[in-house]
């Protein structure tokens, strides 16, 4: 009969007291080692893949805003012959000054593609206007 100490020793050495070796657990197959990545000896060409043509492009419509939105209100104010000052645009929308300027630059200028002109009046106030 083996004691706990003998059992521990036989597990550590892999040999029982009878002198016979115990079976070791089988190893899992790890597969082949990965190869190191080496840059290609070929140089990349300067050309990019061309898109396939699916047909004629549709003519783009002039950007418009839905009726009754703040965008439509701002565009209407900017289309006036005198344009609109920052304070007029703020009153119409209820926005802060930096929000109005950001909207003019981002939504009107970049997204809608309209050219926003900024000029100063004689009294020093800045006036924004667009023309379609």
Amino acid 16: pLDDT? 53
Is 74 exposed, middle or buried (CB count within 10 Å of its CB: 0-12, 13-18, 19+)?
Answer: buried
What domain count does the chain have?
1
pLDDT tens track of the chain, all 132 residues? Answer: 556 665 555 555 555 555 566 677 676 677 777 888 877 777 666 666 666 666 666 655 556 777 888 999 999 999 998 999 999 999 999 999 999 999 999 998 899 888 999 999 999 999 999 976
Q: Identify whether 43 is part of a domain.
A: no
51 lies in a domain? no
Q: Judge whether 52 lies within some domain.
A: no
In a domain, 125, yes or no: yes
pTM score of the predicted model: 0.51
* Residue 90 located in a structural domain: yes
Element of type H or E holding 24: none
| 120 found inside a domain | yes
Domain housing 104: 70-130
Q: In the numeric block, which tokens belong to residue 22?
A: 């115990």
Q: Is residue 100 part of a domain?
A: yes
């Amino acid at each position: 009969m083996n004691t706990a100490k003998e059992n521990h020793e036989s597990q550590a050495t892999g040999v029982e007291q009878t002198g016979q070796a115990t079976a070791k657990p089988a190893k899992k197959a790890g597969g082949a080692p990965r190869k190191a990545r080496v840059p290609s000896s070929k140089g990349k060409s300067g050309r990019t893949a061309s898109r396939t043509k699916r047909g004629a492009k549709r003519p783009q419509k002039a950007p418009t805003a839905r009726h009754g939105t703040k965008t439509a209100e701002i565009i209407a104010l900017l289309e006036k012959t005198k344009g609109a000052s920052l304070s007029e645009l703020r009153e119409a929308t209820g926005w802060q000054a930096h929000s109005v300027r950001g909207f003019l630059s981002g939504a009107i200028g970049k997204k809608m593609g309209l050219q926003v002109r900024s000029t100063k009046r004689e009294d020093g106030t800045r006036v924004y206007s667009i023309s379609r």
